[in-house]
Each structure stands twice: as C-alpha cells, then as structure tokens.
Amino acid sequence: MSAERLKLTTYFGERDRTAEGHLLADALLDLYGARKLHTSVLLRGIGGFGLTHRLRTDQLLSLSEDLPVLSIAIDRPDRIEAVLADVLGLQRRGLVTLERARGLTGDTASAVASPDSKLTVAIGRRERIGRRPAFLAVTELFREHELAGATALLGVDGTRAGSRRRARFFAANADVPMLILAVGPDARVQSAADAIAAGLSEPTLIRERIAVCKRDGVLHAPPEPVRERDEHGLAIWQKLTVHSFEHDRHDGLPLHRAIVSQLRSQGVAGATTLRGVWGFHGEHPPRGEAWLARQRRAPVLTVVLDTPDRIQRAFATIDALTARTGLVTVEAVPAAQAMSAEVVRGGIRLARTRPG
C-alpha cells in the first residue's frame, strides 16, 4: 500500500537556541517526541552555510563548535501540518522545507510517475537482517538492484513509530534512527523497496520524485528550468544533492568543501554536507568510515537549496567541479522558508510543482 506523506526538514546551527534559551535541536526533537511523530531523525553535518553565509565546518576548531544540523520528520500530512506552527515558533533562523512523498508498506505497486526516484529507509542503528547489520544489508541490496547510489546516515536523536530514541553515552543505542537514502530508476527503486519491506519488520519507507543529472562525470541532463511560482503565486524551490566520498578532490581540496566554498561565494541560500557511515555511487564499491585509515573514505552528501534560477547557476558550478566523479540529483521543493535576523525568504505553504 502507499499513502501520502509530508517530510518536514529544518536546517540550522548546532548552537542555535529558542527564544526561551533552549537548544533548538533539543526543542525540536522534544516536540516530535511529545507529538509522537511516526519518524524523525536529527543529523549532524560536517560543513555548510545558510542565508547569512556564515561558514560552519569541522575543519577549524573555532567553527567546529557550531556545526550545521538538520532534522527530518515524516508522517501523514495532517500530523505534520499540526506541528508546523510550533516548529516555526521555535526556529528563528535557518531553513524550513516541506516536501511531498509517498509512504510505502509492503505493496509498492503505486509508482511516482517519474523516471527516477529517491527511496528513504528509516531503521534502528543496530537493527539486523539475518546476521548482518541492516544498514549494510540494505545498502548491498540497493547495489544488487543497480541503483545509482545509496548513503547510510547515522542519527543522534529521533522517533521511531512515535517513540523517542535518543543516543546516550552509556547505552547500546540500538533503536536510535538512521536513514538510508538511495536514488535510481523508478522501476529498480520499486523492486528494491519490495525486497526491503519483506526483509525488515515495520520498516519506514518513503519515495520521492527526483531526476539524476550527472553520474561519474557523465552528464545525463541538467536541471530542467521550472517556474518560480505556481498559479497561486506560491514560491517553488529546488534541491541539488551531490553524492561523493571524502577522499574525492578538486584542485587538492576535498570535493564537498570545494562545492560549499564556491556556492557560498555565489550567494546561494544554503548548503549542508553530511558524512555517511556507508554507501556507494556509480561504479564505486561501497565504502564507509574507517577511523584508523590515513585518508577518510566515507560517503558524503552535499545538499543545496535555493530558487530555480539560482539552482541553475549552482548546477553550472557543480557540473564543473564534478568533471570526474560524483552523483548529482535534483528535486522540487514545494515549500521553503529561509530566515535570518534581517531577512525572510520564501514561504511554508505547499506550492503545486506540476501543472494540472
């Protein structure tokens, strides 16, 4: 069966606080836990910037104390809409987006009417399929189905089936959520979703429309120009996601840092880089975090958000930087609001991203 879902994503800084002085990350996940949202996860980034273009990075000690953070909450539209006003009341700066998705449970016959799609799988950190950690088994399954790429991201807080699951120092943390994001041709994504649903108990799976733009230096199709507003005047944004590895370089600089640096200088609304624990893209074999390795080879995702005209310019920059490697996708964002002390851009009402 498939059912409509909404995905609420917030981007902010690790040290951001609410008007009452509470850490924003704690306040958001307290809210999601109190409202028993079906699935939510808090992810800690390694670099990025927002509307004020203040750089946050783990490369400099003074900046690594305020790394980018994002939270993702997934549930039925009525339940997400019920918490939206409270989320906006808590978050005074950063970026808030709403995206449409389809929730899948077992029967995935309902297509998303797109050549490519993205599948998000939420599982527990220590969940297993047979004798293997579930995130390894699921990632390998995606590779067997010849998807374009997949990355497993480890959460530090969240909810699963409406129950709060938070990482703690002296705990097994078996149920703390993690997300596995995979992209590829829609028919193969459907087939992979069927196999995952059969192998996991009560999995959370959602599918979203995307387009693969580029893979390992080969241009498939640049982002199609789209209208800036729908017929009701509501703003439409777009999101670019670049899959790469930490050891990928451009002119000696890690590829993900080169992307963030150049887009920041161009005035893009926001970009966030997340380090995965395991993943692959293109013809590259799966790789993951290896603490004793001399060179980090973990997968990384760099997420870029802005209006369609700025995304066109951002893609031109990313296209030049990913001449040899990287997987680049684009998707519509029907509602996005970027906030700083001086400026508010966009709005959080859902726009119609397709005519008709």
Residue spans per domain, the chain:
2-347
Mean pLDDT, rounded, for 109-119: 73
Report whether pLDDT(60) > 70: no
* Nearest residue to 253 (alpha-carbon basis) of 44, 47, 66, 43: 47
pLDDT for 65: 67
- So what's the pLDDT on residue 7? 98
Q: Tens digit of pLDDT for each residue in 324-335?
A: 999 999 999 999
Average pLDDT in the chain: 90
| pLDDT confidence of residue 250 | 95
For residue range 265-295, what is the model confidence (pLDDT) as tens digits?
999 999 999 999 999 999 889 999 765 444 5
Give the per-residue pLDDT at 174: 64
Q: Residue 233: is its pLDDT beyond 60?
A: yes
What would the two tokens of residue 27 be?
A: 């306040």
Q: Among residues of the chain, what percentage have pLDDT more than 70?
A: 90
Q: What average pLDDT does this structure show over 81-90?
A: 96
Q: How far apart (Å, rounded) are the C-alpha atoms in residues 128 and 278?
A: 15
Find the range with the poorest average confidence among 2-11, 34-43, 53-62, 211-220: 53-62
153: three-class secondary structure by DSSP: strand
Around Cβ 85, how many Cβ atoms within 10 Å?
Answer: 10
What pLDDT shows up at residue 2? 60
Q: Is the pLDDT of residue 81 over 90?
A: yes
Q: What confidence score (pLDDT) does residue 173 get? A: 60
Closest CA to 340 of 96, 165, 146: 96
The number of C-alpha atoms within 13 Å of 325 and in the hemisphere containing its C-beta is 17
Buried b (16+ CB within 10 A) or exposed e, 151-169: bbbbbbbbbbeeebbbbee
